[in-house]
Each structure stands twice: as C-alpha cells, then as structure tokens.
Amino acid sequence: MEHIAALLLVIGCSNTMTECREMPVPVSVFETFEACVAERPFALGDLQGQARHVVGACLAVDPALEDDYDRIAWNVRPDGTLAPAALHVEGNALREPVGRVLGRPLDVTTAVVARALAGEVVVLDADDADAGPLAPFVQSGSSAALVPLGPPGAIRGVVVMVSLDPTRPVTVAAAQAVRRLGSR
C-alpha cells in the first residue's frame, strides 16, 4: 500500500481572488513532501492560462494518520497564497462547534499569538490565560499549538494544531516537525 505523506492542491482564482475553484492535477498525492514540492512548479505551469491566478501548495500529512483525515481545508489569502489547514474530527457531533471555533481569526494582540508571529512554536496548556478561542479546548484536556510558517524573520502565518483526544496530544516534537515543514 502506498503511504501518503503530502497532498498537492492547485487553485484557479478570478482577478480579485474572490472566486476560486480547485483545478485538477495529474498527481495530487505523494509519498514524500519533497516529491510534492518538486512536482508543484510543473503542475502550476501546465495549468497557467486556465484561470486568471493559478496558485498551488503542498500539505504534509502524517502517513500513520492518512486514513483519519476526513476533511482537509485550504484558505486562499488575498495575496494569492494558499494556507493549508488540516481538520480531522471523529464523530459528527463535534464537527460544527470545532469548525466554528477554528474558523475564527487569532487575536494578534495576545502574548501567545505574538510569540508565534515572532517565530516561536507555542504549545498551549490549561494555564495559558490568553489562549483565546482555544482556551476551552486546552482547559478541558485537549491540546493545541501555534506553529509559525515561514523562515525566521519572514513569518507568513500561523498554523493552529488541535487534538481533541487527550491520548493523542499535540506535542512539542510534532509542532516542531510542522515548523520545519512550514519553514521551507
């Protein structure tokens, strides 16, 4: 069985970046993140001209959890870049409230978000008073981390990692691994 370690998504958008659609690519799953990154420019080149703006990104996924991903969401930023975000929720009862909380923007005035935007990986715990919309999660036994994307000094955004399963917490090691992938 082939194990998926990365996904490639290519999006075509209107001139204003307000209307976007996924564009088909010959290969969208890869065994390594590096293979996805190597294929990305060719996929983008093949699709140029089919939309006003064509953008693409690779998302690293944990091969051990590939069967657990039931939704992978991508946000198109106003500057034309893609912000990948993976969301996995077992059971439909939590899907809507978790999506509502994770869909809210982070408050950049809080200390934990400021630390992440400064380039620090921040693993939250129940004692973090300024965890914002993540506070109910970490105070009830779930775990979360804020992971900066981009090389030091040029942070492009923050990935929010959340595990609702106390037996599978977000660890510093897992958050650091996401940081390394996001720094490329």
By C-alpha distance, which of 84, 72, 85, 80 is closest to 55? 80
Domain definitions of the chain by residue range: 1-88, 90-184
pLDDT given at position 38: 92
Tell which residue, 17, 21, 134, 4, has the closest CA to residue 60.
4
Q: What is the pLDDT of residue 162?
A: 81
Q: Running DSSP on this structure, what letter comes out for residue 124?
A: E
pLDDT tens for each residue of the chain, 184 residues long: 355 677 888 888 888 777 788 888 988 888 888 888 899 999 989 998 898 888 888 877 655 554 544 455 666 666 666 665 555 555 555 566 666 666 667 777 888 888 888 888 999 877 776 777 777 777 777 888 888 887 777 887 888 888 877 788 888 888 888 888 766 5
| Cβ-proximal residues to 67 (8 Å cutoff; 6+ apart), any chain | none
Euclidean distance between CA atoms 96 and 105, whole angstroms: 16
| Separation of alpha carbons 80 and 100, rounded Å | 24
Predicted pLDDT at 1: 37
**pLDDT given at position 42:** 92
Quote the pLDDT of residue 30.
Answer: 85
The amino acid at residue 182 is: G
